[in-house]
Structure 1
Amino acid sequence: METREQQHQTRVAAPSEEFQMGQTGSAASVAAVACGILLAGRLSLESLMYMGFISMSGKTALTLAALASLSYVICGPLLLQARLTKRIGQMLVDRVLNARCNWESDTLRSFCEVSLWLMVVWSTYVSSEGGPIGLVAALTFGTCAGAVLAVLGELLQQPLRSVERVLRESSARRTRLKTAEEEEETFVTSNIVMLVLFGPTVVSTVYDNCSDMAVLAGILVLGGATILAAARVCQAWEPTRHLGNILQARILNTSENWREHPGRSALESTFFCAVVMGVYELHGDALFALQTGFMSGMSIVIASEVFAHGINFDIKVDDSKQTSVPPVILGYVSFMVLVCFYAREHETVNSAALSVIFNSLLWVILGRCCSAVEAGQHLGQIVNRRALDAAENWTKFPVRSAVECSAWLFGQYIGHRCGSVFASAVIGTAVGIVAVSFSEVTAWHSKKLRRAPQAKKLRGNTIKGKWTWDEVYKHSSPEDAWIVIDGRVLDVTDFAPRHPGGPIILTYAGVDATDQFAAFHRPRVYARLAQFHVGEVVGDKSLPTKATEEYRALRKKLWEEGWFEPRLPYFAFKAVVCLLLLTFVIGVLTYLSPVWILTRTFVAGAAMGIAWQQIAFLAHDADHWGITSPPSGSSFNPLSWFLASVLFGISRSMWNEEHSMHHAITLRPQEDPQFNYLPLWLISKKELDVAGTHVGFLTRMLVSVQHWTFLPVSVVIGRFNFYLISMLSALKRAVTAKNSRELCGGLLDVMGMVLFWTWYVALVCNLDTAAERTLFVLASNWTVGILHIQLVLSHLATETFTAEEERVEQFFAFQLKTSRNIDSSWYDHWFHGGLEFQIEHHLFPQLPRHNLSKVKPMVQEICSRHGIPYRSTSFSQALRDVLSDFRGLAMDIVNLKMG
């Protein structure tokens, strides 16, 4: 094995070797970096001008950028001379000397740094009213901002690389356990991908300054590069990986394709070039020609694969196969029918092709949407199969496929004769569905989709009977998951992916989940457990303690006496308060004179933040079904969605899953998703014992000052971080949905957050200047940032338990030891929104907020009888306890000896 010195020398030598081998690609690399910087500057300038922050000519902006760059270059060596600033100076020097390497290895980071740096330079110059003073201020603040951004870039390097890796790498590569060598490899962004991402700015520049033929040639080249980039993106997702491989092979294996499959290559190339040239000549729009060329290139490649059911058009018909009509012939016929129908109406083949592409996308979207609705799920599956299994359908059922395709195209033609793209889409889709439904009429009656879960079939030779705890524990994987509720063993393997609460159900695979189930489900749900029943558990491994028995008796009593019934007038009053706050904000911004600057910014912003805080409390109540009762057979909560996504601006589905997990495994080290803050904060030394935890330089540095960063990060950054992770989570859920519930949740969250930003931006636009808008946005979001302190204050600086320790404690004692109440008076209960009774809320999550205080004495009695601590302190004391605990953990991480 190599020594550490040898490995280090190998890694040091690698860059120079790569440089020598990659001289031929240096031009593309430099061009890619130049395109990236140009686009970063252009987007920054146009964004500032669009928002009304600045107004300047392009030449002025370019001059400022050049002078700021010179100042940035000079500042680095100067900072290197001082001992305190030597490290920052080295970062600035590295940014300048290794610009190309930085853009290749960390494209996203470099793009963000350049964009934000230029925004600071230009904004400072304009806000200082220009002139020599403005120039000096712009250079000074711009250079300082560059230094700060360089430091932040280093700190956020790994998270930003992770974002790029998610976008670029395949899911198989992400889930593969990395070897030591893989951990050391450099993360490099492909130059061709950078060119495709940043190249459109250059294309528009070429269009403005070059001849038409040069533009056309550039469009063709960039169109091919765009197809290649799309291929790389498709390869990153398992369902589209095969498509990505096909598209990539068309571009990278051009000579081989022409040599082995000349007919196919000629048809695809001619179609692609004809569309690009036709669109450019017809519209004179280079970017539109690029877009249509990209879509047409992808469509003809996909069509050739689908119709040929292979990799070429030059296939020979096997006489031994009983296929009446070769699929490729039917493909040609359908394409010619398309040309005949549309050529006269659209005047160009390109227009007809775009119409078919649009209707194809509509067909796929319709299939997914139908699958998400109970009444149309069977139809949605049929529509999806027609799109996803096109090649198989053409091979096995050529006549049926030809008839359906012809009917679909004929419907589009009829709709187009009405002179409307909308009519073409609607009529074409309707006729296509009728044709598909007619061909599936026999299967429609024999294979009805049953939404109600069927009685489970036991795996293997398993029979209902008695099971020991050791035998139950063997069924603790997602592929074979048993849980125990009230002594009954339930096989939930097939149900787990459909569980409305998300993956939390698998956390208790192989163990007892009696109290967790009872806490989150209504009593009526117990009747549905019979279908999963596989036997009974024997043994005394999980006998309830006396405290647990009293807790269960209290819970049963509360259900029987109607304590879980919400009092609607109470929540109606809360809603009215929120409505009045929102009305006050709208009235101030709309009708108050602009001279009242402080009122229109700080006062209205603070009122907006308080309104958001109270809306968040109502959304929390609603999502726990503490305001309304859940409908039978449905997990969607429309009130919670409206409050959380439309009015508060977060992903309801993400919060629901994470919060359910938090309630069940509160503070479990690095498993509770709402209390997993490494490397920013350390909440327990038990987190360091979790397998795979690495305490590196970044973790040490951030944790060592966590008692100083806790309040600023929670208030200043917490709200904006919530925005970002909510939108990313919703988009990911919609794109990678495995079932209709996930798809609906993701799409509804995206729609809700879009509505939120629509009304919020419209509200902010009532302010006159960019400065007022900025102050209002900061005031509103920083005021609601207090909420993020409230959300964590009731759990931090308490005890933490591993999974094994938690099961020993049992649910009642475990929740008491990981939570605290906040002492409140009658006048400040509204400020805490029910979170002041965190203990009672965790023991009875579905208990309405107005009954938590009444249950508190009953819980305290159980605690006093069994010696279980009941934490309840003031808000200020709880904050002091948390900061003190954070400081102690910070000192521990500083003194930690690294092995």
Structure 2
Amino acid sequence: MGKGGKQLGTYSYQEVSKHDKRDDRWIIINNQVYNITNWARRHPGGSRVIGHYAGQDATDAFRAFHNDLDQVQKYLLPLHIGSVQKGEVNTNYSLENDFRDLRENAEKMGLFKPSYLFFFLHLAHIIAMEVMAYLTLYYFGTGWIPFLVSVCLYSTVQAQCGWLQHDFGHLSVFKNTTFDHMVHFFTMGFTKGASPSWWNHMHYQHHAKPNVMGKDPDVRVDQLFVVGEKMPLEVAKSKKSNMPYNQQHKYFFFIGPPLLFPVYFQFMLFRHIFTRRLWKDFIVVMAFYVKFFYLYTSMLGLGWALVYYEIMRVLESHWFTWVSQSNHIPMDIDRDTAEPWIRLQMKATCDIEQSFFNDWFTGHLNFQIEHHLFPTMPRHNLYKIQPLVQSLCKKHGIPYQMKTLSQSFIDIVKSLKHSGQLWEAALHAHHVS
């Protein structure tokens, strides 16, 4: 009997796994079973991110996303319907227990405590470069050299602010939802001209189920590309697309990095704003455009201000695409097999070697493994937890991949070529049969 006189039951893992439908969702957290069917629509992180764990044990995912467990527990209490049967065999118990011990040690080491100086200096260097981008044209004129210097500075602002907004979006700076959201709106909305709510909607799903087809929006790319080992076979079997995927490692250079931000993201973020009536996001995004065109049209005229803007977006898009895909596209991509948190993240991510440049260039996403395991850990502490993660992986025989920056970029193209060849072979086999 639970609080309020509610009758609680006991359930097997197998029974819980049956409740994974849109209109019937149960999850397990710390061996307790919760019916989230109706509440999922009100979930602050979005219905999809919590729905991706329907029918599964979400203990470590739950812990990874939430800073204030006491506050969240208040929401869980009315959803509690019982517990997992005693004596149920958890084949991943040893690994999961060691991972939870690792997280506890990280908390004791203070690795979840942010350095406000670090984030202040990072924001300061972004603002300084944005001012320099404007002053370059203001003082030196609009010739080709100052134009290119200015646009490169502004592209760097956009890329670096992309990494910084990522920290506030993950609530890893203030550990206070209100404060982090406020600065997230400033960095993502006013400084970058994008919707913070759209970013949360997409990125939280990615973290919940990275490289999981049908759940991670980052691998929902089959209209243009096939990735991994399974997607090429499924697409070939369906025969729904006429894209020449066997050439995707070539056309990636023309429609991947150059167009992701200027075309696809621009369309998607405004569609998200209007379909969900996110007027606060709309106001802050429009404030960016008013600021930009007010400042640059006065010096360049509207036509060249538009050219400046598009060049900036293309350069930013290249920077983001190569960095973000280097950690994921060459890794395992599959349907959801309800892997435990650490195995799921390790299969989908890899690290890039540490250096001052790599840390800055990637926004510390060269520690992608550690970031995915502990998404609310401030990025300046990720290198400290890396040796402990490596030891845990070694103990349990889990591959831990680390590459050079150049190799990680090469592997994007190699993996696209490999997936394209798989598609071509599967398509030929289906035609023959």
Matched, 1:666 2:210: yes
Residue 732 (str. 1) matches residue 280 (str. 2): no
Q: Deviations over 1:262-304 (max 9, x none)?
A: xxxxxxxxxxxxxxxxxxxxxxxxxxxxxxxxxxxxxxxxxxx
The one-character-per-residue Cα deviations of 1:395-425 (angstroms, maximum 9, x if unpaired) are xxxxxxxxxxxxxxxxxxxxxxxxxxxxxxx
Equivalent residue in structure 1 for 2:149, among 603, 610, 619: 603
Q: Matches of residues 688-727 of structure 1 in structure 2 within 5 Å?
A: 688=232, 694-696=238-240, 698-699=242-243, 701=244, 703-720=245-262, 721-727=264-270
Match of 2:78 in 1: 531
Code of the aligned partner of 2:395? R
* Aligned counterparts, 1:190-201, within 5 A: none
Structure 2 residue 305 is matched with structure 1 residue 773: yes
**Is 1:687 aligned to residue 231 of structure 2?**
yes
Among 450, 469, 472, the residue aligned to 2:13: 469
**Unmatched 5+ stretches in structure 2:** none
Give the counterpart letter for 2:225 in structure 1: W
Residue aligning to 1:747: 279
Match in the other structure for 1:334: none
State how 1:474-553 maps to structure 2 within 5 Å: 474-502=18-46, 503-522=48-67, 523-525=69-71, 527-528=73-74, 529-538=76-85, 539-553=87-101
Shift of 1:724: 1.6
Whole-angstrom distance in 1 between the partners of 2:206 and 2:115:
26
Partner amino acid, structure 2, of 1:797 = P
Relative to structure 1, is the Cα distance of residues 894 and 510 closer, same or farther in structure 2, using a 3 angstrom cutoff?
Answer: closer
Distance 1:457 1:623 in 2: 39
3-state secondary structure, aligned to 1:628: coil
State the AA in 1 paired with 2:9: G
Aligned residues of 1:589 and 1:766 also touching (Cα < 8 A)? no
Distance 2:312 2:98 in 1: 45
For residues 702-729 of structure 1, give each alpha carbon's deviation from its aligned partner in whole angstroms, at most 9, with x where no partner exists. x222111223333321111211210111
Is this contact kept in 1: 2:222–2:235, CA < 8 A? no
Q: How far apart are 1:649 and its partner, in Å?
A: 1.5
TM-aligned CA deviation for residue 554 of structure 1: 0.8
> Which of these residues, 167, 176, 179, is aligned with residue 621 of structure 1?
167
Distance 1:889 1:544 in 2: 31
Q: Quote the offset at 1:517 in angstroms.
A: 0.6
Q: In the alignment, is residue 565 of structure 1 matched against residue 113 of structure 2?
A: yes
SS of residue paired to 1:803: coil
Aligned counterparts of 2:125 and 2:16: Cα–Cα separation in 1: 51
1:639 and 2:172 are equivalent in the alignment: no
Q: Which amino acid aligns with 1:608?
A: Y
For residues 508 and 573 of structure 1, do their structure 2 counterparts lie closer, same or farther at Cα, with a shift above 3 Å needed? Answer: same
Mean Cα deviation higher: 668-677 or 841-850: 668-677
Is residue 2:222 matched to residue 1:678? yes
State the aligned residue count: 421
Q: How does 1:571-586 map to 2 (within 5 A)?
A: 571-586=119-134
Question: 1:580 Cα shift?
Answer: 0.6
1:321 corresponds in structure 2 to none
Assess if the C-alpha contact under 8 Å between 2:212 and 2:335 holds in 1.
yes
Q: Distance in 1 between matches of 2:208 and 2:166?
A: 16
CA contact (8 A) 1:821 1:872 kept: yes
Pick closer, same or farther for the CA change 1:665–1:689 going to 2, 3 Å.
farther
Gaps of 5+ in 1: 1-454, 735-745
Match of 1:801 in 2: 334
Match of 1:251 in 2: none
The aligned residue for residue 832 of structure 1 is 362
Q: Distance in 2 between matches of 1:654 and 1:626?
A: 18
**TM-score normalised by the chain length of structure 1:** 0.45
Amino acid corresponding to residue 627 of structure 1 in structure 2: V
CA deviation after TM superposition for structure 1 residue 758, in Å:
1.1
Counterpart Cα distance in 2 of 1:717 and 1:537: 48
TM-score (normalised: structure 2): 0.91
| Corresponding residue number in structure 2 for 1:867 | 397
1:456: how far off?
8.5
* Structure having the larger proportion of residues in helix: 1
Where does residue 408 of structure 2 map in the other structure? 878
Q: Judging changes above 3 Å, is the alpha-carbon distance between structure 1 residues 693 and 516 closer, same or farther for their aligned structure 2 residues?
A: farther
Give runs of aligned pairs for residues 150-549 of structure 1, distance below 5 A: 463-502=7-46, 503-522=48-67, 523-525=69-71, 527-528=73-74, 529-538=76-85, 539-549=87-97
Q: Which has the higher contact order (CA 8 A, sep 6+)?
A: 2
Distance 1:812 1:500 in 2: 24
Deviations 1:499-540 (A, max 9, x none): 011121112122211111111112334532333221111153
CA shift, 1:457, in A, is 9.0
- CA gap of 1:697–1:495, structure 2 versus 1, over 3 A, is closer
1:625 is paired with a residue whose SS is coil
Distance 1:483 1:497 in 2: 15
- Give the 3-state SS of the residue equivalent to 2:283 in structure 1: helix
Change (3 A) 1:818 1:777: same
Paired position in structure 2 for 1:180: none
CA displacement 1:342-367 (0-9 Å, x = unmatched):
xxxxxxxxxxxxxxxxxxxxxxxxxx
CA contact (8 A) 2:353 2:403 kept: yes
CA deviations on 1:417-460 (whole Å, 9 max, x unpaired) are xxxxxxxxxxxxxxxxxxxxxxxxxxxxxxxxxxxxxx8996xx
Letter in 2 for 1:826: F
Cα-Cα RMSD: 2.3
% identical equivalent positions:
26
Q: Give CA-to-partner distance per residue, 1:47-85, whole Å, 9 cap, x none.
A: xxxxxxxxxxxxxxxxxxxxxxxxxxxxxxxxxxxxxxx
1:787 is matched with which residue?
320
- Cα deviation for residue 562 of structure 1 reads 2.8
**How many Å separate the matches in 2 of 1:456 and 1:507?**
29
